[in-house]
């Protein structure tokens, strides 16, 4: 089984982070569909190959992910010395170097595991930020046995509702995010199917639904949404707009809502079934297998198929579950992004208003706690000074910012949920140079791509910026150097880097977006 380039890049980025950081725990962010299970497997295989005495626990919260991750491990490494600890699977094996474990089954039994060197937590955004809960208890007990234990998080959505980014704030478990690949790169690389959203005539009204902890109160939400008139309207409109779709996945507000939705689908002639937390394990497996095999055209669910569920041929996502959580929104949308056998995209019908509420999945900005973190900023396009996001004029050069009224989206076109409209350039040459902001004096690298008679495209890499943004740009420079056949030294200054890169091989094509007067390069294909 061969790793994709970005998957190997992800593993290299983790090892690079540990090389640069003697203490701390990173979180690897990979979009849904990027192949976290395979990255997991390769990372652990490499660790045990280099250090055979290493003991690893791969931790998650649902048996489907345990089985999926273990299957990928065996597929990549048939002789992998692994065990499974999960009451739901009926196994409690602790003597192998690699253990795939359910947190619900193992959290009280750290002493059975003994000395562990690496913990990998799948869906790590579920870990509480305070010093409580099953994950925190288990990790604390393992750290008492081995204080040198390292923890690696894996997630597609590195934020928690009411807190913000999982590596920011007090008492965080993770110290940094590693983000080696974007949704856009995977779409343009042909690894994921794009989503196409349609504004629906029926819109769920949640204006009177109260919130707690930043999210709609579950009982009040279901009470507002679960009524026959709304359910009938949603199913009728779904069949009108998605009558050509083969595999429709419905996200509902609760058990009763999901059951009523399935009943209405069947009443309207659509073969459908429902899975919820009340569904028995055997029935759940039977229903999901039937949906994947095409024997069921529609599947409704309540809070059980947002993670650990992989049905690639799902070609329509129906959001009948309003949420304030950007993570949940991203997880629901992500269920439709696997490559399909019969179509090149997945339709999203958003009756819940989630696209309007959160925006494109490529530009989600999770809210943090009030009063926490840095104030939002923007760059002045004239002098490149970093100024407050609310500033009407630049305090350095006097540039006047244009403000557009922020109105709710009243009409969506096919790619609003993606937020991408890529342009492609066939590159004939590139030129690197050191760039200095005219007034701010900020130093950065500039790359200009040339494409024959096409307009040139210039991107700016603020490699000297402090924090994660600067680190991401520095990593990008060294990645581009490697792909273009150039060896750089960490001690090289910007002029030396530019001179060296001008001798390198440019990418054959790039994809990019126009953002005002500037460009953002999304992919570079060598």
Model pLDDT for residues 286-310, shown as the tens digit of each residue? 999 999 999 999 999 998 998 778 8
Q: What is the dihedral of CA 404, 405, 411, 415, to 10 degrees?
A: 40
State the average pLDDT over residues 499-515: 89
State yes or no: pLDDT of 238 exceeds 60. yes
State the average pLDDT over residues 83-111: 95
Residue matched to tokens 């069921």: 296
φ, ψ of residue 423 to 5 degrees: the values are -115, 150
Q: Taking each helix axis from N to C terminus, what angle separates 228-241 and 255-267, rounded to the nearest 10 degrees?
A: 50
Q: How many CB atoms lie within 10 A of CB 23?
A: 8
State yes or no: pLDDT of 480 exceeds 90. yes
Residue 394 vs residue 94, higher pLDDT: 94
Q: How far apart, in whole angstroms, are the C-alpha atoms of residue 209 and residue 105?
A: 35
42, 60, 196: which is closest to 127 by C-alpha? 60
At 405, the pLDDT band (50, 70, 90 cuts) reads very low
What does the chain come to in residues?
A: 526
At 373, the pLDDT band (50, 70, 90 cuts) reads very low
State yes or no: pLDDT of 526 exceeds 60. yes
398, 408, 432, 299: which is closest to 353 by C-alpha? 408
**Is the pTM of the predicted complex or chain greater than 0.95?**
no
CATH 3.40.50.300, the chain: domain bounds: 5-182, 195-363
Per-residue pLDDT, 389: 62
Q: How far apart, in whole angstroms, are the C-alpha atoms of residue 326 and residue 501?
A: 39
Architecture of domain 195-363: 3-Layer(aba) Sandwich (3.40)
What residues contact residue 443 under an 8 Å CB cut-off, 6+ apart? 434, 435, 436, 437, 464, 494
DSSP designation for 399: P
Q: Note the maximum CA span of the chain.
A: 70
State yes or no: pLDDT of 73 exceeds 80. yes
Give, rounded to a whole angstrom, the gap between the first and last alpha carbons of the chain: 23
φ, ψ of residue 356 to 5 degrees: the values are -65, -35
- 182-196, 331-345, 369-383, 458-472: least confident range: 369-383
- What would the pLDDT profile of 413-457 be if each residue is shown by its tens digit? 334 687 766 678 889 999 999 998 776 678 999 999 998 766 789
Q: How far apart, in whole angstroms, are the C-alpha atoms of residue 319 and residue 361?
A: 14
Q: How many CB atoms lie within 10 A of CB 347?
A: 21
Q: What are the angstrom distances between the C-alpha of 304 and each of 3, 284, 332?
A: 29, 10, 11
What residues contact residue 319 under an 8 Å CB cut-off, 6+ apart? 251, 332, 348, 349, 350, 351, 352, 354
One CATH from 3.40.50.300, 3.40.718.10, 3.40.50.720, 3.30.420.140 for 5-182 = 3.40.50.300
Beginning with the edge strand found earlier in the chain, give each strand of the sheet holding 423-426 in spatial order: 423-426, 509-515, 518-525
- What would the pLDDT profile of 123-145 be if each residue is shown by its tens digit? 998 887 776 789 999 999 999 99
Per-residue pLDDT, 297: 98
Per-residue pLDDT, 383: 47
- What would the pLDDT profile of 361-372 be if each residue is shown by its tens digit? 887 766 554 444
State the average pLDDT over residues 22-45: 93
Residue matched to tokens 């790169």: 185
Per-residue pLDDT, 310: 84
Per-residue pLDDT, 334: 93
């Amino acid at each position: 089984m061969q790793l994709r380039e970005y998957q190997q890049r992800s593993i290299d980025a983790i090892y690079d982070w540990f090389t640069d950081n003697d203490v701390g725990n990173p979180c690897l962010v990979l979009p849904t569909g990027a192949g976290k299970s395979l990255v997991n497997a390769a990372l652990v295989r490499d660790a045990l190959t280099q250090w055979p005495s290493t003991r690893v626990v791969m931790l998650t919260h649902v048996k489907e992910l345990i089985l999926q991750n273990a299957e990928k491990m065996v597929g990549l490494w048939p002789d992998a010395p692994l065990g499974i600890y999960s009451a739901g699977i009926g196994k409690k094996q602790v003597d192998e170097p690699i253990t795939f474990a359910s947190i619900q089954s193992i959290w009280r039994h750290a002493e059975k595991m003994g000395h562990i060197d690496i913990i990998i937590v799948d869906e790590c955004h579920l870990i509480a930020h305070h010093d409580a809960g099953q994950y925190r208890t288990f990790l604390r007990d393992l750290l008492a046995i081995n204080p040198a234990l390292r923890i690696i998080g894996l997630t597609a959505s590195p934020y928690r509702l009411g807190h913000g980014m999982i590596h920011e704030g007090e008492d965080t478990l993770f110290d940094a995010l590693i983000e080696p690949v974007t949704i856009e790169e995977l779409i343009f690389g042909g690894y994921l199917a794009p989503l196409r959203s349609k504004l629906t005539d029926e819109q769920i009204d949640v204006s009177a639904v109260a919130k707690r902890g930043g999210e709609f109160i579950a009982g009040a939400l279901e009470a507002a949404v679960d009524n026959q008139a709304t359910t009938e309207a949603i199913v009728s409109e779904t069949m009108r707009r998605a009558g050509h779709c083969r595999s429709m996945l419905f996200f509902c507000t609760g058990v009763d809502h999901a059951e009523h939705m399935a009943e209405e689908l069947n009443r309207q002639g659509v073969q459908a079934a429902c899975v919820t937390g009340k569904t028995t394990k055997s029935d759940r497996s039977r229903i999901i297998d039937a949906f994947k095999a095409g024997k069921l055209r529609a599947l409704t669910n309540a809070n059980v198929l947002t993670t650990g569920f992989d049905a690639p041929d799902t070609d329509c996502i129906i959001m009948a579950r309003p949420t304030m959580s950007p993570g949940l929104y991203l997880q629901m949308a992500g269920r439709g992004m696997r490559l399909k056998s019969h179509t090149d995209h997945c339709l999203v019908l958003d009756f819940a208003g989630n696209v309007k509420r959160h925006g494109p999945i490529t530009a989600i900005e999770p809210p943090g706690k009030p009063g926490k973190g840095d104030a939002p900023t923007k760059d002045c396009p004239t002098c490149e000074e970093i100024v407050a996001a609310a500033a009407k004029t630049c305090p350095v050069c006097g540039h006047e910012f244009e403000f557009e009224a922020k109105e709710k989206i009243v009409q969506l076109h096919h790619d609003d949920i993606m937020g991408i409209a890529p342009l492609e350039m066939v590159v004939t040459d590139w030129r690197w140079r050191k760039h200095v902001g005219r007034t701010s004096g900020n130093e950065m690298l500039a790359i200009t791509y040339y494409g024959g008679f096409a307009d040139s495209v210039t991107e700016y890499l603020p490699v000297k910026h402090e924090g994660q943004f600067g680190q991401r740009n520095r990593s990008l420079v060294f990645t581009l150097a490697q792909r273009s056949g150039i060896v750089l030294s960490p001690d090289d200054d910007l002029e030396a880097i530019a001179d060296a890169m001008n001798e390198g091989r440019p990418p054959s094509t790039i994809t990019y977006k126009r953002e005002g007067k500037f460009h953002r390069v999304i992919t570079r294909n060598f």
